[in-house]
Amino acid sequence: MTGVDFDEISCAGVSRHFGRRHAVSRVSFDAPRGTILGLLGPNGAGKSTLLAILATLLRASAGEVRYGRFDASAGPSLRARIGVLGHDLFLYPELTAFENLALFAGLYGVPGRGARARAALDSAGLADRADDPVSSLSRGMRQRVALERALIHAPRLALLDEPFTGLDDASTAALVARLGSLREGGAIVVLATHDLDVAEGLLDHAIFLREGRVVEALARPGGLRSTYRSVMGR
C-alpha cells in the first residue's frame, strides 16, 4: 500500500495538556529526511507524549504538526508511512514472533508478508525463535521483535520510545547500525532515550526536554552527558 510521502516533519508550538498540567509545552523543531533526532530528558519530561502526538495517536492541544505538505488529517495514508515502537511493545503475547510480524506486515499492506516476516526475524537474529510465543521470549528479545514490527513496512518516519531498553551490547550495536542504515535510506528517525552513551555519536539533532519544555536543542551534538547535566541542572 503506498501512502503519502514527505521530506521532513515539523512541529510548531506543539502543546498538549491533560487537565491542568502540560505534558508538552510549545515544542518546535524540524527534522528532514535522513536524520536521527533524539528526545532526551528525565522521566515525565513529555517524550512519550510528544512521540504519541507525532504518531497521530494523540491530538495536540495547540500548535501544528506537519509531515511535509500533510498533517494528521491525512489519516490512513499517512499512517502507512509511520512506524512506532512504543513503550508497551505492541506485540500479542499469545502469538509467535513470526505470527506477530506477519500480522502487522499484512495490516500494513506489505507484499509477501510471510517472507518479509522471516527476513525481519533473520535481521533481528531470532530466526530460531520464530515459532515461539512472544510471552516466552526474554525482554530483550521481545524488544527486538517489537522493533522489527515497527519497521516492517519501511516507514518514512520511525518513532522509537526507549529502543535500547533491555538490549545487550551486541543487540545495541546492531540497533545503532540499523538506525544508521535507516538514515542512509532517507528515513526520519525520532527516538526518545535515557541512554546518553549510546546516543552519543548517533544523533544528528538532540532536543532536551524538561517538564514538557524544550530547554536545549543542538545540532551535531557531542558531549551529551555534560550538556544534559548542565541543562537539567538549571
Partner 1 sequence: MLRAIWLILRKDLTVEFRSREIATTTVFFAVSCVLAFAFALVREGQAPEDGAAGILWIAIMFAGNLALGRTFERERQAETLRALMLVPAPRPAVYLGKLAGIVLLLAATEVLLVPLVALLFQAGLLARPFWLVGVVAAGTIGFATVGTLFAAMLVRARSRDVLLPVLLYPVTVPVIIAGVRATAALAQPDVDLGIVQFWLALLVAFDVVFLTLALWTFEPVMTE
Partner 2 sequence: MPSWFLPAAAVCGLMFAASPLVIAGAPYESTMGLVQKIFYYHMPSAWMFLTSSLVCGVASARFLAGGRARHDRQAWAAAEMAVLFGLLTLVTGPLWARKSWGTWWVWDARVTSSLVGWMIAWAYLILRRYGGPGSEKLAAGLALFGMANVPFIYISVNYWRTIHPATSVVPTLPVSMGFPLWYCVTAFLLLFVLLLTLRMRVEAQQARLDALYLTLDERG
Residues making contact with partner 2 (CB under 8 A): 15, 17-22, 25-26
Q: Which residues pair with 57 in a beta bridge?
A: none
Interface residue with partner 1 among 67, 70, 108, 164 (CB under 8 A) is 108
Question: Which residues sit opposite 16 in a β-bridge?
Answer: 24
**Binder of residue 114, out of partner 1, partner 2, none (CB less than 5 to 8 A by kind):** none
Nearer to partner 1, 63 or 133 (CB): 133
Nearer CB in complex with partner 1: 76/233: 76
Site string for partner 1, 178-207 (x = CB under 8 A): ------------------------------
Q: Is 109 in the site for partner 1 (CB under 8 A)?
A: yes
H or E, element range at 190: strand 188-193
Q: Does the protein bind partner 1 through residue 55 (CB under 8 A)? A: yes
Secondary element (H or E) of residue 180: helix 169-184
Residues contacting partner 1: total by CB under 8 A: 33
Q: Shortest approach of partner 2 to residue 119 CB, angstroms?
A: 39
Regarding 45 and contact with partner 1 (CB under 8 A), the answer is no
Determine which residue in the list 19, 73, 88, 234 makes contact with partner 1, applying CB under 8 A: 88
- Is 107 near partner 1 (CB under 8 A)? yes
Cα–Cα nearest to 34, from 8, 12, 55: 8
Number of H helices, E strands in the chain: 8, 9
| Amino acid in position 207 | I
103 forms part of the interface with partner 1 (CB under 8 A):
yes
Say how far apart CA 137 and CA 128 lie, in whole Å: 12
Q: Which of 39, 34, 40 is nearest to 11 (CA)?
A: 39
Count CB-CB contacts under 10 A for residue 43.
7
Give the Cα separation of 161 and 133 in Å (integer): 23
Residue 93 binding partner 1, by CB under 8 A: yes
Q: Check residue 84 for interaction with partner 1 (CB under 8 A).
A: yes
CA–CA distance, 20 with 14 (Å, rounded to integer): 16
Shortest approach of partner 1 to residue 94 CB, angstroms? 5
**Contact positions with partner 1 (CB under 8 A) in 133-152:** 133, 149
